Structures are given as structure tokens and as C-alpha cells.
Structure 1
């Protein structure tokens, strides 16, 4: 790293809070080094109240861009000049590209989700999906899946949760802007939750359930809700095997994925936006998968 840093090094950031545990610097800096690119990726503890100052600094310092994570994905939108279509539909951003002072916001989380499935030779085009959660991960997953041809999405969120209105918005946008049929259910309605999962091709949990301090919890504890030929996808990847994945194993589900592939692929999409180059994904996967302590 020291040998690569000089007066021409281009800075890219990650603005979120808390964020010091992130695997993104490892991923991007190793990719820069592998390709011989004179970039450096650093994380910055910036919460919602500081996001305007962070974006001002991005412009002032001439940074190439930044990733954005919680709690800033929606709060950053008013300070940007342009948004790509997915960001317009989701109302959130996880990647900023600075083109000579013009800041464009992108959302690569949903792209990462779909690419992670494709990497496993899994195609959910024309299929039925059940999704729990409508937050920073769930929203772009739902929108991107609908844009990419998923036929039906049943979204579950607790009606007394702060994301309920966001879930309603997601369903409305999907039905208005795509060919996908979306429905919203209250996660407290366990009978509907069970029936929808039993009849779906893929179940995705986009909530924080299963991640510390909720690592011993799962929204689905009964293996009989699952069937062998479906996909179970948990966006959590620390721990590597969540409680949900363990339940899916008991049901002999053939395709069980954690969020590590999604994390790498959303990063690869951002990497290309900044550099114009393809991230050496196989090389990065080996580094990240071998890092058993990797968190976000």
C-alpha cells in the first residue's frame, strides 16, 4: 500500500456509522493493487447529521467518489446532482461517482444480489420471491429484482415498524413501474408468511435478524416452511452461517446463500463505476472468503 501512495493517488471513501469493521477497504484496495491502479479506499465514520459536510468534503478534495451505508443512504440524496434509475425508484444511494464536480448517485445493492445468484447459476426471472424487510438492503433488492424480471414479490414487514411506509412505497413503485406483481403483508401475520414462503421459489431475509446481537434469532424457525427446490438467501454474512441458514439446512434446501457474495458483487459494480475496470472478483473472493473474521 505504501509503495502505491503518491501525489497522484485518487481517493475513494466509505461514509457510514459505525463502519470501522467494514471489509470494503480490504476488497477495494486489494483490487486496486492487483490491477495496478493508483487509488486508495478509506472509511469515514460519518452519521446522518454530518453527511452534508462529508459530501462537501468529497467535492472539495476532488475524491473520485464514495460508498454510502447506513444511516446515510437516504439522507445523502438531496446533496447529489443526479440519480440513476434504481436510486430514483428506491430513494436511496450506496455509491457516489464524482465526475469533475458533478455527483451522481447509484444503488448497486440490488445488482449485487442478482449477480450473487447468477454466480451460483441461479435464475429467478419469472419466479416468485418472498422478501422480509424493506430497509437499506430490502428496498434495492426488491426494486432490482422487479426490474430484472422476477414475476411476483411478496414483501413482509411489521406494520408497527418504521419501515412499513417504505414497504408500502416499494410495492406501489414495483406495481407502477415494472411488470412484476408486488404485495405487502404484515410480518406479524405468521400464517400468511408461512403460506407465501411455501409457495415461493426464493426466500430472502434482508433484515438484521441473524447478525450480532441477534445472531441466535431467525424469522423462520420451522424447517417445514421450506422445500428442497427453493433458494434461501440471507443478506447477513457475519456469522457465515446464520440461524436461518441452519433451519434451511434442516429442510434440505438445495441452494442456501449468505450475503458475502452480494457484498462482493455490489462492490464490484461500484468499482467499475469509479475505475471503468472490472474488479478481479475471483481474486477478491479468495481473500474475503478466507477472512473468517470478516464483518461488514
Structure 2
């Protein structure tokens, strides 16, 4: 049972909207299991309150917070210091509030745990496929973090599949400064020749929201496409746990995994950064699965009543 008192340490997540975030359930379960008098709260606010909200969290003594859409880039201007990986990615998802005990001055340090969280969640699977050609669906922040992770482990080529040409071109310009030998290219969804990629590609990653609950029958790939059995398919979506994309991939004999472990591992890295102790991974994963079940039950009840 969570107890709040004058010694309770506060962390949370900032974004807009946040009603479907699993981070509060995940992190509060971790605090309770470890026995820390901490609480993790959701801080939703529209963009015009961003500066005031960050100043408030600093002033009120929050120990840190996660950052999600649409603030991963916008928050840079309000931070005192950022990690090298956050600079390279142009995105912050974890902020630590550091305090000088001598004068009480607080400053904000921004980091990005998405890259390491992805690698920790998928390394055992990535070791089993050739590090040759990977395809990433999407060009947003998640796609950028995944691409950086693939570069770190030596993928030879990464192709981005974009819905919007201008956004994709911007991404390619930004990643030119990455110090890797990976070859990048960009193609629009409507121009992809999936059959031509079938043998060359070893890894497909969905970094788009297509297939997220409740639109569970939506898939980012055409219905006519047959997945090669040698592909590893990673869908960063974790609700539902098995998307239409993953079901189709596994039916064809390919290996498919969802994004739940990436969520858990990046959250565990944030937990460690704030508290200085290791996070209980299995407790966090179980809390997320329970949150997914509650959401599905709630949605089904609402749909039935209409």
C-alpha cells in the first residue's frame, strides 16, 4: 500500500496527453517492491505550459521525471546539462534533478535511455540475425533511437520507410553527423518493393503507432506481403502485446517480439538514475501487463455499453 508523507520523494512523467501511460503503474510497483518512499505521478499539460511546468518541478523538489511526446525535443532549452547520447539523438526522455547541498541550488540533467533500453531488451534476439540490412518503419523519435542502437552494434545498412518525405529527409540530414559506417536510405511507404527486400533484409522494426490498441487490426505492411521466415520482426508497440504485424510474421515462421521489454528496460534505467539502486525488472513487466489487461477490460466495457 502506497503511503504519502513529508519524506516521500516525487518523480513522474511529463507529456500531453498521458491518460494511457503505463509508467506510473510500472514505477510505483517498483518503488513498493524495493521499499522506497517514492511516488511516480503523471504531469499532463498542454505545450503553452511547458516552461512553467519544468520550473515548477525544479522548484518543488521533484527528484526527476520522464519526458514523452510532444516534449522530448522542446525540453532541451530548459535543461542545464544533457548527456552526449541525448545531444546526438536530439531527444531527452529522462531528467534528473541534482541539488547542491551547500546552497540548495538545483539543476536539471537530461539523458536518453531509449537506445540502451532497446539494446537490453533485444540483444539476445539481435545476436541471432546477420547485422546486414535493417528496415525501420517510421522516422520519429523512436525510429531515431532504434537506428542509433543498430549503428552501435554494427548494422551495415538501415532503410527508413516514411509516410512524409520532408520529415524523413530531415532525419537523414540530422543523422549524417553520427560517427558510424552504417549506410542510410529513405523510401516512402507507397514506393517500397517489399518483394525485392524479402531476401536482403534480416530485421524489420515497426516504430510507427499503426496497430496500437484499439486499432488492433491495422498493420503497417500490405496484406499481400508474406514475411520471410528468416526475418526478425520487432514491433515497438506493446498494447496489444501481439499486434497484427507480429501475428502475421509469426504465422510465416518469423520471430516476432513486441516493445514491452524496451519500455521496461528504459524505465529501469530511469529508476536507477533517480534512486541509485537496481530496478526490479520482472515486477515492472508484470505491472505493465496488468495495466494492459485493465485497459482492455475497460475499453471492452465501454464498447459494449454503446
Task: Tell me whether the two structures share a fold, i.e. TM-score over 0.5.
Answer: yes
Return closer, same or farther for 1:47/1:148 CA change in 2, 3 Å cut-off: farther
Once residues 218 and 225 of structure 1 are traced to their aligned partners in structure 2, the CA distance between those partners, rounded to angstroms, is: 13
Q: Which moved more, 1:42-51 or 1:180-189?
A: 180-189
Partner of 1:207: 208
| Corresponding residue for residue 282 of structure 2 | 282
The one-character-per-residue Cα deviations of 1:225-257 (angstroms, maximum 9, x if unpaired) are 42212210111111222111122123111x211
Instruction: Kindly report which structure 2 residues correspond to 1:256-275, keeping only aligned pairs within 5 A, or say none.
Output: 256-275=256-275
Deviation at 1:155, TM superposition (A): 1.2
Structure 1 contact 97–273 (Cα < 8 Å) conserved:
yes
Change (3 A) 1:55 1:268: same
In 2, the alpha carbon distance for the partners of 1:42 and 1:236 equals 22
RMSD: 2.2
Q: Distance in 2 between matches of 1:226 and 1:170?
A: 31
2:251: which partner in 1? 250
Which residue of the partner structure matches residue 61 of structure 1?
60
The equivalent of 1:189 in structure 2 is 191
Larger radius of gyration: 2
> How far is the alpha carbon of 1:197 from its aligned partner?
5.0
**What is the CA deviation profile of residues 56-106 of structure 1, one whole-angstrom value per residue up to 9, with x for unaligned ones?**
012101111110111111111111111212211111111111111221111
- Using the size of structure 1 for normalisation, the TM-score is 0.89
Provide the residue aligned with 2:82 in structure 1: 83
| Contact 1:288-1:294 at 8 Å conserved across structures | no
Partners of 2:130 and 2:202 within 8 A in 1 = no
**CA–CA distance in structure 2, aligned partners of residues 73 and 121 of structure 1:** 27
Q: Which residue of 1 aligns with 2:144?
A: 139
The one-character-per-residue Cα deviations of 1:100-139 (angstroms, maximum 9, x if unpaired) are 1221111112222211112657456834311011112111
**Aligned 8 A contact 1:152 1:181 in 2:** yes
2:173 maps to 1:173: no
